[in-house]
Amino acid sequence: MATLWSETNPYLGEPKGDTDFARITDNVARVAEAPKPPIGWYIAFGIALAMLTGFGASLGWVMWVGIGAWGNMHPVAWAFPIVNFVFWVGIGHAGTLISAILFLLRQTWRTAINRFAEAMTIFAVICAGIFPGVHIGRPWMPYYMFPVPNQMSMWPQFRSPLEWDIFAVGTYFTISLLFWFMGMIPDLATIRDRATTTPRRFIYGILAMGWRGSSRQWHRYERAYLLLAALATPLVLSVHSVVSFDFATSQAPGWHTTIFPPYFVAGAIFGGFAMVVTLAVPARQFFGLKRLIEIRHLELMNKVILATGMMVGYAYGMEFFIAWYSGNPYENFVFANRLFGPYAWAYWTMIACNVVIPQLHWFEKVRTNVWATLAIGVVVNVGMWFERFVIICTSMSRDFMPANWGYYIPSKIDFLTLGGSFGLFFTLFLLFCRFLPMVAIAEVKSVHRDAHAGHGHDAHEHSHSPRTA
């Protein structure tokens, strides 16, 4: 890829600057500053935009004719839309985990990836947020779900996990957005300062919110960052736990399981990291960020994937054990049905993608090879989508009373919507790559050896960050 675009790609080649700090700055900022991105970006953006259009079209059609445009049926009343919702919410988690938890754990390597991991979170949550709204039968009145004053003097029903979702996902999105944006302020200021044209100066100037890099500002920045990190940390665990309650608190065999919250969170981190590497590998190749996002970083993430992958595998196993141990015939049947029933193909796809293939990361050769990393990342994403499909569709297609059993077949619109949501995601992400600092410049510098006490004091305006323990 890199070689392919090297002639036309302004992002490659040595970054300018006489110190490392200057070079780091240039390496990141030039991406946002290049007057014209290479054709590669346009092609990618075009594809994403086309998919996004498909998204809009499919949702428009669903609004017009009704949910029946999708394949949902009786008994599988929840299908693709909810699968996609859970999938995207899950993706979000890695971002918050990296930016918040790893920060609190002082994992300095996070600085290379946290920025676009956070961006990924925002965009994933945006994708996720759309589905609950459009999957309902009368999408023009979701406001019934919000506790707003109304002439019926009616409240929403707070016993419903769906109601909890609204608040959980809402909070999550807000915090993540704040966290992401605040973290960007110093870098936006950098870009503002390097800006050469008035509009850029103005726009980045507004976004930078008057950042001057005074030590007072830095001090406040650090505090705020710490606080938000502390706020975000429980969210990483809570959001997907709440989402898992949609299923865990229900009666349906295959849903009604106490293991769901931890299992969902692990799965979310698993899938999230997979998405990060899926994005990171092309990004670092294409935007010439190899110097900042090193193989070491990818390797570390692959290790996380390996670990969480095994947690997920454990959960799969445990589900079966509990089903057998409970002696509940309906529970037993659901799992037998997953293995050998009509949807067995989905189940085995999931196992292959989530449990088997990630084991390759035991081999250093594999986890240090960018393309293998990318491939496995994609595979895991597929697997995690199927995990939700198995949980939702397979369980519902055969529940208590055999007379209700059915076999859900998605419609074309279903696939259009699914693909479209990726369109939305990538459109946003490509815009982010194009216009915003993809790597946290300041933070990278802060962990750069030159930033360590003793030298390089006046090396660069933003260099003296207290956070260099």
Partner 1 sequence: MSSMNEKHPKPTYWRSLAELDNDPKFQKMLENEFAEPLEGPDMAPGTPARRRFLQIMGASIALSGCRFKEDKLLAFSRRPEGVVPGESRQFATAVELNGVATGLLVTSYDGRPIKVTGNPLHPTSAGGASAFHQAAVLSVYDPDRSEGVTHLEGRARTASTRKKFEEFLVSERARWQANGSKFRVLASVSSSPSLASLRDRLLASFPGAKWVEYSAVETDNPEAGTALCFGKQHRAVYQLENARVVLSVHSDAAGATDPSGVIASRGLAQGRVPEGKPMSRVYAVESSLSLIGGIADHRLSMPACSAKAFLAALDAEVSKLLGEAGKGAQPVPSAKSLQAPATQKFIATLAKDLVANRGASVILAGNHLPAEAHAIAHRLNVLLDGVGKTVTYQELPLRERRSEALSGLLRDIAANAVETLVIIGENPVLTAPSDADFAGALSKVKTSIALTEFADETARLCTWHIPQAHALEAWGDGLAHDGTLTLSQPLIEPLHGGLSAIEFLALLVNDIKRDGLDIVRRTHAALLPSQKAWNKAVHDGLLPGSAPAPASVTLATLPAFALTESDLAEVGATNGKLELVLAADSKVYDGRFSNNAWLQELPEPLTKQTWGNAVWLSPATAKALGIGDGDLAKVSVSGKELTLPALYVPGQAEGSLRIPLGYGRHFAGHVGGHDDANVTPVGTNAYPLSTTATPFVLAGATIVRVDGRQEIATVQDLHAIDAIGQQGIDERRGLLLAETTLEKFEKEPDFAKHLVHHPPLESMWNDPVAYEGHKWGMAIDLNKCTGCSACITACQAENNIPVVGKDSVLMGREMLWLRVDRYFSGTPENPKLSFQPVPCQQCENAPCEQVCPVGATMHSHEGLNDMVYNRCIGTRYCSANCPYKVRRFNYLNFHLDKVEATPFQSVKDKKKLLMHMVFNPEVTVRARGVMEKCTFCVQRIQNVKIKAKNAKRAIADGEIKTACQETCPSQAISFGDLNDPTSAVAKDHALPRAYTILEELNNRPRVRYLARIRNPHPELG
Partner 2 sequence: MKLFVFPRWANKTRQLAGVFLGVTPVYLTALIWYGASPKTTDVGYQPKQPVPYSHALHAGELGIDCRYCHNTVEQTGHAAIPPTETCMNCHKLVHPDSPKLLPIRESYATNTAVPWVKVHDLPDYAYFNHSAHVTRGIGCVSCHGRVDQMEEVFQQEPLSMGWCLDCHRAPENHLRPVSEVTNMSWKPPEDQATYGKRLRAENNIAPPEDCSTCHR
Minimum CB distance to partner 1, residue 350 (Å): 18
Torsions phi, psi for 17 (to 5 deg): 125, 150
Residues 401-440 that bind partner 1 (CB under 8 A): 401-407, 409
d(CA 5, CA 55) in angstroms, rounded, equals: 30
Cβ count within 10 A of residue 304:
21
Among 35, 143, 149, 453, binds partner 1 (CB under 8 A): 143
Amino acid at residue number 21? F
Element (H, E) at 429: helix 412-435
Report what 182 binds from partner 1, partner 2, none; CB cut-off 5-8 Å by kind.
Answer: none
Q: Does 205 bind partner 2 (CB under 8 A)?
A: yes
Minimum CB distance to partner 1, residue 295 (Å): 45
Q: Does 149 bind partner 2 (CB under 8 A)?
A: yes
254 secondary structure, DSSP code = T
Q: Does 33 bind partner 2 (CB under 8 A)?
A: no
Contact of 449 with 33, CB cutoff 8 Å: no
**DSSP-based helix, strand, coil % in the chain, nearest 5:** 75, 0, 25
d(CA 45, CA 84) in angstroms, rounded, equals: 22
Residues 243-282: x/- map of binding to partner 1 (CB under 8 A)? Answer: ---x--xxxx------------------------------
Preceding amide of 75 cis, omega within 30: yes
Contact of 125 with 173, CB cutoff 8 Å: yes
**Angle at CA of residue 329, ends 331 and 315, nearest 5°:** 25
Minimum CB distance to partner 1, residue 153 (Å): 12
Report what 153 binds from partner 2, partner 1, none; CB cut-off 5-8 Å by kind.
Answer: partner 2
Residues 58-77: x/- map of binding to partner 1 (CB under 8 A)? Answer: -------xxxx--xxxxxxx
Please name which of 149, 167, 150 lies closest in space to residue 158, comparing C-alpha atoms: 167
Report what 202 binds from partner 2, partner 1, none; CB cut-off 5-8 Å by kind.
Answer: partner 2
Q: Indicate the residue among 166 and 438 with the shorter CB distance to partner 1.
A: 166
Contact of 445 with 451, CB cutoff 8 Å: yes
Q: Does 202 bind partner 2 (CB under 8 A)?
A: yes
Q: Indicate the residue among 131 and 425 with the shorter CB distance to partner 1.
A: 131
Among 68, 210, 317, 466, binds partner 2 (CB under 8 A): 210
d(CA 298, CA 375) in angstroms, rounded, equals: 13
Q: Does 201 bind partner 2 (CB under 8 A)?
A: yes
Report what 32 binds from partner 2, partner 1, none; CB cut-off 5-8 Å by kind.
Answer: none
Distances in whole angstroms, Cα of residue 446 to Cα of each of 22, 117, 209, 255, 294: 13, 19, 21, 46, 16
**In the complex, which residues of this chain contact partner 2 (CB under 8 A)?**
148-154, 192-193, 195-196, 198, 201-202, 204-206, 210
**In the complex, which residues of this chain contact partner 1 (CB under 8 A)?**
65-68, 71-78, 135-145, 152, 154-157, 159-163, 166, 246, 249-252, 329-330, 333, 336-337, 340-342, 396, 398-407, 409
